[in-house]
Amino acid sequence: MLKKLKNIWWAGKLFIARILYGNPSRKLKIIGVTGTNGKTTTATLLYEVAMELGYKAGLISTVEILVGKEKLKLNSNKPIPATTPDSISLTKIFAEMVAKGCEYVFMEVSSHALDQNRVAGITFTGGIFTNLTHDHLDYHKDFENYFKAKKKFFEMLPKTAFALSNMDDDYGNGMLDDIKAEKFFYGFGEETEFLDFYGKILKSDFNGLELDFNGEKVNSKLLGKFNAYNLLAVWATCKLLNFDMPARNATHSVAGGQKVNKILERIQPPRGRFEHFTTPEGVLVVIDYAHSPDALEKILLAVKEIKPEAGRIISVFGCGGDRDKSKRPKMGKIGAGLSDIAIFTSDNPRSEDPNKIIDDMKSDLDHEENKKAITIVDRRLAIEESLKLANKGDVILCAGKGHEDYQEVKGVKSHFDDIEEFKKFLK
């Protein structure tokens, strides 16, 4: 009864907020991106392409909220929390975007947000599905509930919207079953007759990707096969939005005639998403947000693709406390199995004992995997050790925190930035 009253109170508050702000989401073309991995990269690249083409756009992502080029915050110090903010915050954000002249909004839509009806009442122009793998089962309890939460997004899309789905994912087809929106599929499979947008990887190395999308050549500085999927989703969405056009006004910095393919060629990955640099000793350091078994596996396979033949993979990663414990042994096994040296360390242990979390991560390792695993609970010392162990041609992957600039231990958040720590030790 209490929960029902709370929901009624919240719905009334949202109704008033939308009246006060003039229901701003209806004045914007909003594209939502959902899936386990790839949401941030896909939404951010779409925002950047739109801005380069002369449109004024907004971005709502895990990393940041942007209105045009301005970063939006709750106040002077604290950024807006959560991948997808609550519905009243979203109404205020959309109102700000309308006031600043935005035409398009590209936003991540999380499974938590869908389950909690945070995006209810928003009229989306389109929706994108990236993939569905093991994550957030501490919240959803089982995979079926997780799938249903994601599918809810596509069921709410109107007839006028488009729904774009990754056909290569096991759930890509089922995600769009019995929906009203117009369906489109993308992928790298050989059965191209079932795909509206098909891709081929022509070349993948340390310099980036050379791709073929529907017969058009697309180059990118982004690395790895998983990013090829993100790029194809972005490219396909640009086609559906009729974005392959010159800049819309002469005052924009992009010269007339600039095309989507050219923009994708020079675009950089979002912060903490396969962000990388090379040390003076010739070691490639990669920072990534990968914090699920599938994401960690994909990022390690991408590193394996691009590293020199004689180079080793040194991984530094952990698992979050107070979150899904079932993924810990899976991530431990993937990390140790695909690395030459795997340093098990703390992520955000929160209220849990970090030693216990690492024990869970190591619980399913076989003898050979155990020989490759090193335990260093202090993440700062783990990063330092990875640099000490690395030789020219090696790749260090530091996974799990990506763009985050804090670490939460025993309920206390302290400043901690993986890239800052690497560069500090290099000095």
CB 336 within 8 A of CB 372: yes
User: pLDDT tens digits for 340-396?
Assistant: 999 999 999 999 999 999 999 999 999 999 999 999 999 999 999 999 999 999 999
Closest CA to 319 of 379, 275, 366: 379
| SS3 per-residue string spanning the chain | CHHHHHHHHHHHHHHHHHHHCCCHHHHCEEEEEECCCCHHHHHHHHHHHHHHCCCCEEEECCCCEEECCEECECCCCCECCCCCCCHHHHHHHHHHHHHCCCCEEEEECCHHHHHCCCCCCCCCCEEEECCCCCCCHHHHCCHHHHHHHHHHHHHCCCCCCEEEEECCCCCCCHHHCCCCCEEEEEECCCCHHHCCEEEEEEEEECCEEEEEECCEEEEECCCCHHHHHHHHHHHHHHHHCCCCCCCCCCCCCCCCCCCHHHHHHHCCCCCCCCEEEECCCCCEEEEECCCCHHHHHHHHHHHHHHCCCCCCEEEEECCCCCCCCCHHHHHHHHHHHHCCEEEECCCCCECCCHHHHHHHHHCCCCHHHHHHEEECCCHHHHHHHHHHHCCCCCEEEEECCCCCCEEEECCEEEECCHHHHHHHHHC
pLDDT band at 270 (very low <50, low <70, confident <90, very high): confident
> What's the rounded mean pLDDT across residues 29-46?
94
**What CA dihedral angle connects 108, 32, 134 and 176, to 10 degrees?**
180
pLDDT of residue 378: 98
pLDDT per position as a tens digit, 283-331: 999 999 998 898 899 899 989 988 889 999 999 999 999 988 999 999 9
215 falls in which pLDDT band (50, 70, 90)? very high
pLDDT at 266: 93
Which class would CATH give 275-426?
alpha beta
CATH number of 9-266: 3.40.1190.10
The reported pLDDT for the residue numbered 121 is 83
Portion of the chain with pLDDT greater than 70, in percent: 87
Amino acid 257: pLDDT? 36
Mean per-residue pLDDT over the chain, rounded: 88
C-beta atoms surrounding 395 within 10 Å: 25
Q: 220: which strand partners? A: 209
Question: According to the model, what pLDDT value does residue 136 have?
Answer: 47
pLDDT digits over 44-79, tens only?
999 999 999 999 999 999 889 999 999 987 554 444
Closest CA to 109 of 95, 126, 92, 134: 126
Q: Which of 2-6, 8-12, 163-167 has the highest mean pLDDT?
A: 163-167
| Residue whose C-alpha is closest to residue 267's, from 308, 238, 298, 295 | 238
Q: How far is CA 322 from CA 28, 111, 138, 335, 408, in A?
A: 37, 18, 9, 21, 11
Identify the pLDDT of residue 247: 47
- Given a cut of 60, is residue 254 above it in pLDDT? no
pLDDT, position 19: 62
Q: Which two tokens stand for residue 44?
A: 């951010």
CA-based nearest residue to 153, from 187, 125, 111 = 111
Domain edges within the chain = 9-266, 275-426
Residues 355, 356, 357, 359, CA torsion sign: positive
**Mean pLDDT along residues 193-200:** 94
Q: What is the phi/psi pair of residue 346, to 5°? A: -85, 145
Which tens digit of pLDDT belongs to each residue from 140-193?
A: 456 688 888 889 999 999 999 999 999 999 999 999 999 999 999 999 988 788
Residue 78 pLDDT: 47
Task: Give tens-digit pLDDT for 86-142.
Answer: 888 898 999 999 999 999 999 999 877 777 888 888 989 999 999 998 554 455 456
